[in-house]
């Protein structure tokens, strides 16, 4: 895959990518905090820094915090590292990324003549794997034709987009943002039960996943602790240690159990401690055959480690506020906390990895069933590999 200039991705299910927003961000102000501050129950992320500086600072570079951002200058974030600013569909049809005075554009050329262009407004995805971009058309955020893929440092047709067709009008709706942002209001018009129009309220968009997206509104918590500086026990905020394992796992599954479960009510209001089954319909999913992509929750809960222990949950291995990903050695230490001396055969023990890397054998990369890649000029599909969270003997 590496080195290939053109890559066409076929995503048959969601998770892919995409799109975004912008404008009005050109002021450089943090809309997120402005919007939150006007709601009396929210305190706004900036208020957390005075009492939780360590967490606040490391969270700035966390992928969750950067999973959606406005394009407020000429920066496309990792998208600027692309080896080439062109993408050719065929000898007649090509696209270019163009920086101009008033912004950055994706422009379509047919036989050297410019047909149309659209402005980059919003980035979705931290760029760890990919960034998909959106362009505002009135109150609709429309996914742009080209997505940036970090591992191959290339632009390629956005997942789900047909190979030789230019199509800028796929909306990035509220559902994407429920997992990739902290808030977005929608204006829906109906005639009876028929939805006649559905638009985002642009000014309501709060980018990134912020502190209160996970912890819930903290206005009262902040007010209390400002007035009671000697109180060392947290008040008016869900206490993580007091939650059940299901509540702990739900706090991550709200975004890490895929997008197949029908939404009963918007997950923007879901917070730590809530019961996810009240937000996403549990009964109508085929949980039996989860995918490595986006369904870490279902994979993990089918592991013996999860079933036979009462404590294992996402936080056992992941720290949510950190700005770096631990290496495989560090992850393996988490395994050894429960498995000091695994019963390995002599053959397994002969493998040099066995003392320091449990992951490659017990959480190997697997092919996603819902996503595959198609390289230009090649027949057939290439697999998209992710680590399985079903910990087992393979
Ligand atoms: C149910 C939650 C959910 C929904 C809905 C969702 N995503 Fe994602 N998305 C995720 C998670 C979780 C990841 C990273 C982990 C993974 O791939 O398993 C991700 C990864 C991504 C990435 C790669 C980011 C990176 O750099 O690693 C992009 C881009 C993206 N999503 C865009 C979109 C777009 C566009 C939509 C709407 C069409 C969307 N997502 C809908 C949860 C969601
Ligand atoms: C005036 C000080 C102050 C401010 C501002 C503040 N907190 Fe706290 N917070 C505390 C104190 C004190 C504790 C208890 C000690 C600790 O856990 O650090 C606490 C604990 C917490 C906890 C831990 C709950 C648990 O599981 O034990 C969370 C979560 C939290 N705060 C979130 C926030 C968020 C989010 C913000 C910003 C919106 C915020 N705090 C702003 C003082 C503050
Ligand atoms: C993706 C969800 C998520 C986001 C976003 C998030 N937290 Fe947390 N936070 C958690 C979870 C889960 C725990 C409990 C596990 C732990 O301690 O790591 C926690 C624990 C805490 C604690 C108590 C434990 C400790 O380490 O002191 C504080 C304080 C806190 N968070 C503050 C914040 C602040 C401030 C922000 C924003 C800068 C923030 N959190 C963003 C999920 C989140
Ligand atoms: C509001 C939605 C949301 C919640 C809640 C959430 N995540 Fe995520 N998480 C995402 C998205 C979206 C991504 C992909 C971010 C990107 O790269 O753009 C992600 C990425 C990750 C990654 C990959 C990080 C990396 O650097 O490879 C881990 C690990 C993760 N989340 C763990 C957790 C855990 C643990 C929790 C619960 C405490 C949690 N998440 C809660 C949406 C969420
Ligand atoms: C919270 C404790 C805990 C952690 C952390 C943990 N496990 Fe386990 N694991 C268990 C328990 C309990 C079992 C079931 C043992 C039994 O059935 O006797 C188990 C079973 C297993 C099995 C046997 C699986 C099977 O299907 O028979 C393997 C392999 C395994 N764990 C590997 C790992 C690896 C690798 C890690 C780190 C990525 C890990 N475990 C982390 C508790 C844990
Ligand atoms: C026993 C340890 C362990 C537990 C528990 C665990 N993870 Fe992971 N997770 C890992 C390891 C190891 C990786 C691979 C890291 C790497 O390759 O750098 C990973 C990677 C990820 C990624 C990045 C996607 C990918 O495939 O590269 C996401 C997202 C994630 N975990 C979310 C979760 C969520 C959500 C939970 C809870 C439902 C969870 N994890 C529970 C160990 C764990
Ligand atoms: C080279 C691949 C490999 C590596 C590396 C590896 N394992 Fe295993 N593991 C296996 C195989 C294969 C089995 C089945 C028994 C056997 O044939 O050795 C197994 C069995 C297990 C079991 C089930 C037996 C039991 O003790 O209940 C556990 C738990 C386990 N491994 C944990 C770990 C941990 C923890 C690490 C890292 C310190 C690790 N493994 C590293 C391949 C590996």
Lowest-pLDDT range, 52-56, 221-225, 336-340, 370-374? 370-374
Q: With pLDDT > 90 as the criterion, what percentage of the chain qualifies?
A: 66
- Pairing outcome for strands 103-110 and 113-119: antiparallel
Kindly report, residue by residue over 290-346, the tens digit of the pLDDT. Answer: 777 778 888 999 999 999 999 999 999 999 999 888 899 999 999 999 999 999 999
Q: How far is CA 391 from CA 207, 315, 329, in A?
A: 34, 16, 16
CA angle 87, 88, 94 (to 5 degrees): 90
Nearest CA to ligand 5 atom 38: 335
Lowest-pLDDT range, 23-37, 79-93, 154-168? 23-37
For 190, the 3-state DSSP assignment is strand
Kindly report, residue by residue over 171-209, the tens digit of the pLDDT. Answer: 999 999 999 999 999 999 999 989 898 899 999 999 999
If you measure from the C-alpha of residue 329 to the centroid of ligand 5, how many angstroms do you get, rounded to a whole number? 16
Q: Which of 118, 133, 137 is nearest to 71 (CA)?
A: 133
Confidence bin at 38 (pLDDT 50/70/90): very low
Distance CA 330, CA 321 (A): 16
If you measure from the C-alpha of residue 64 to the centroid of ligand 4, how many angstroms do you get, rounded to a whole number? 6
If you measure from the C-alpha of residue 172 to the centroid of ligand 4, how many angstroms do you get, rounded to a whole number? 19
Burial track 45-54 (b if 16+ CB lie within 10 A, e otherwise) = bebbeeeeee
Percent helix, strand, coil in the chain (nearest 5)? 25, 25, 45
Q: What is the largest CA-CA distance in the chain?
A: 71
Question: Is residue 116 within a helix (H) or strand (E), and if so which, with residue range?
Answer: strand 113-119
Kindly report, residue by residue over 101-130, the tens digit of the pLDDT. Answer: 999 999 999 999 999 999 999 999 999 888
Candidate from 135, 179, 213 with most ligand 1 atoms within 8 A of CB, to mutate? 179
Question: Which alpha helices (DSSP H) does the chain contain, by range?
Answer: 31-37, 53-59, 174-180, 211-215, 219-227, 245-256, 296-301, 304-307, 314-317, 328-338, 346-349, 359-362
Sign of CA dihedral 96, 99, 101, 104: positive
Cβ-based burial of 334 (10 A; exposed 0-12, middle 13-18, buried ≥19): middle
Q: At 111, list the tokens.
A: 């036989």
Distance CA 271, CA 221 (A): 15
Tell me the ligand closest to 128's alpha carbon: 1
pLDDT score of 157: 84
């Amino acid at each position: 895959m590496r080195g290939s200039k053109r890559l066409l991705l076929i995503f048959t299910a969601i998770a892919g990518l995409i799109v975004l927003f912008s404008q009005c961000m050109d002021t450089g102000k943090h809309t997120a905090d402005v919007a939150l501050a006007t709601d009396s129950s929210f305190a706004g992320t900036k208020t957390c820094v005075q009492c939780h500086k360590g967490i606040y600072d490391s969270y700035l570079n966390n992928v969750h915090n950067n999973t959606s951002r406005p394009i407020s200058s000429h920066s496309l974030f990792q998208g600027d590292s692309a080896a080439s600013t062109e993408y050719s569909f065929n000898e007649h049809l090509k696209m270019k990324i163009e920086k101009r005075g008033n912004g950055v554009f994706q422009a379509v050329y047919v036989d050297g003549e410019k047909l149309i262009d659209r402005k980059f407004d919003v980035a979705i995805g931290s760029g760890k794997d990919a960034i998909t971009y959106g362009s505002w058309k009135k109150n609709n955020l429309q996914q742009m034709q080209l997505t940036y893929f970090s591992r191959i440092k290339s632009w390629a047709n956005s997942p789900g987009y047909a190979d030789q067709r230019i199509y800028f009008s796929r909306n990035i709706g509220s559902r994407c943002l429920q997992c990739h942002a902290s808030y977005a209001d929608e204006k829906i018009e109906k005639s009876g039960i028929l939805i006649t129009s559905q638009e985002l309220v642009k000014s309501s968009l709060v980018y990134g996943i912020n502190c209160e997206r996970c912890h819930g509104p903290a206005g009262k918590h902040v007010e209390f602790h400002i007035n009671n500086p000697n109180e060392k026990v947290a008040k008016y905020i869900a206490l993580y240690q007091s939650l059940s394992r299901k509540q702990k796992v739900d706090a991550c599954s709200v975004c890490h159990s895929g997008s197949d479960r029908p939404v009963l009510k918007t997950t923007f209001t879901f917070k730590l401690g809530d019961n996810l089954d009240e937000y996403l319909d549990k009964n109508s999913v085929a949980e039996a055959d989860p995918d490595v992509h986006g369904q870490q929750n279902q994979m993990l809960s089918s592991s013996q480690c999860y079933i036979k222990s009462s404590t294992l949950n996402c936080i056992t291995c992941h720290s949510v506020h950190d700005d770096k990903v631990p290496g495989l050695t560090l992850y393996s230490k988490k395994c050894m906390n429960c498995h000091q001396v695994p019963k390995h055969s002599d053959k397994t023990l002969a493998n040099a990895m066995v003392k320091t890397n449990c992951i490659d054998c017990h959480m190997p990369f697997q092919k996603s069933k819902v996503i595959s890649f198609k390289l230009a000029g090649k027949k057939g599909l290439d697999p998209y590999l992710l680590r399985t969270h079903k910990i087992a003997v393979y």
